[in-house]
Amino acid sequence: MTQQDDHQPGTDAGHPMHRRDFLKKAAALGGTALALSSLRLTANAADKKKAAPVAKPEAAKGLTSAAGKPILATHPQHGYNKGETIQAMTFPNLSSVEGISPNQLNQHIELYNGYVKKINDIQGQISAMTPELDKMNATYSPFRELHVEQTYALNGSILHEAYFENLGGKRTPATDTELVHKLFTEEFGSWDNYVQHLSAVGKSMRGWAVTGYNMRDHRIHNYGLDTHNQWVPMNVIPLLVLDVYEHAYMIDFGTKRGAYLDAFMRNVDWAVVDQRLKTMILHG
């Protein structure tokens, strides 16, 4: 049994709903007033009854990244809804990245800009179509193709925004964060275990490694995606996004993905991850 699946759904202590209540209390208190070891193991009905009303911490109000953009990986103001145009983000926080060259980052951003352009193109075409059921086909139809590529371009945009946002900035060390360090350590047994597990996922996949908050069990997991829209788990909010496509590192590191993973970890702004975590616990 691995560290991540040793809880027992159905037992009181491990019940996801009780865990959510405890996490909300921890987030409301900034993560410093509750021992995370008790969060995980001592949730019970009595504790739930005693739970004080959750006060929203200042950190959860008007969250912005170093780039001045909202912290959440999903950006509703960007208009991912039908008929609206998405604007590509800029990432001034990347100017403080060390060990990944500006050329590598700029080429990567150009790729991201292409995804934003295409999601607008695709969703514009979908909006303009009047579906005729007798022309739909699951082997091939223009309508099917548009919907296949819609998720590819949409996730390609969202994942890249989250990736670029959690790099550079103030490069806040994980140990300086209020909640993320404690909760990730609790979940994986130690911080080194977490980093090793994330790196292992990063070396194993062809597209992405994502540390996500699972709203089904209210726990932290590392997930792997081979492409933007393949193996994507439902009910999971990305907290830390790591791009492991070759285009993310080939200019600087050639085929040495391990060196890139080390450089990535040195440049994570953990304050961004910490605020994403608090926001999801309080509002997810």
Handedness of CA 75, 80, 85, 88 (dihedral sign): positive
- The rounded distance, in Å, linking the Cα atoms of 35 and 6 is 19
Q: Which of 186, 243, 269, 274 binds Fe ion (CB under 5 A)?
A: 243
Beta carbon of residue 210, minimum distance to Fe ion (angstroms, whole number): 13
Beta carbon of residue 243, minimum distance to Fe ion (angstroms, whole number): 4
Contact between residue 217 and residue 19 where contact means Cβ atoms under 8 Å apart: yes
Greatest pairwise CA separation for the chain in angstroms: 61
User: Residue 14 or residue 114: which is nearer to Fe ion going by CB?
Assistant: 114
**Is residue 165 a contact residue for Fe ion (CB under 5 A)?**
no
Identity at 194, one-letter amino acid code: Y
**Is residue 186 a contact residue for Fe ion (CB under 5 A)?**
no
Task: List alpha helices for the chain, DSSP H.
Answer: 16-28, 36-41, 45-50, 102-128, 142-165, 180-188, 191-204, 250-253, 257-267, 270-283
* Binding span for Fe ion by CB under 5 A among 80-88, 146-154, 196-204, 235-243: 235-243
Beta carbon of residue 208, minimum distance to Fe ion (angstroms, whole number): 8
Beta carbon of residue 17, minimum distance to Fe ion (angstroms, whole number): 36
| CA neighbor of 66 nearest in space, from 240, 268, 264 | 268
Beta carbon of residue 225, minimum distance to Fe ion (angstroms, whole number): 11
* Binding span for Fe ion by CB under 5 A among 113-121, 125-133, 178-186, 244-252: 244-252
User: Residue 104 or residue 177: which is nearer to Fe ion going by CB?
Assistant: 104
The three-point CA angle 215-221-222 to 5° equals 135
**Is residue 274 a contact residue for Fe ion (CB under 5 A)?**
no
**Is residue 161 a contact residue for Fe ion (CB under 5 A)?**
no
> Helices then strands (H, E): number in the chain?
10, 3
Residue numbers of the site for Fe ion (CB under 5 A)? 243, 245, 248
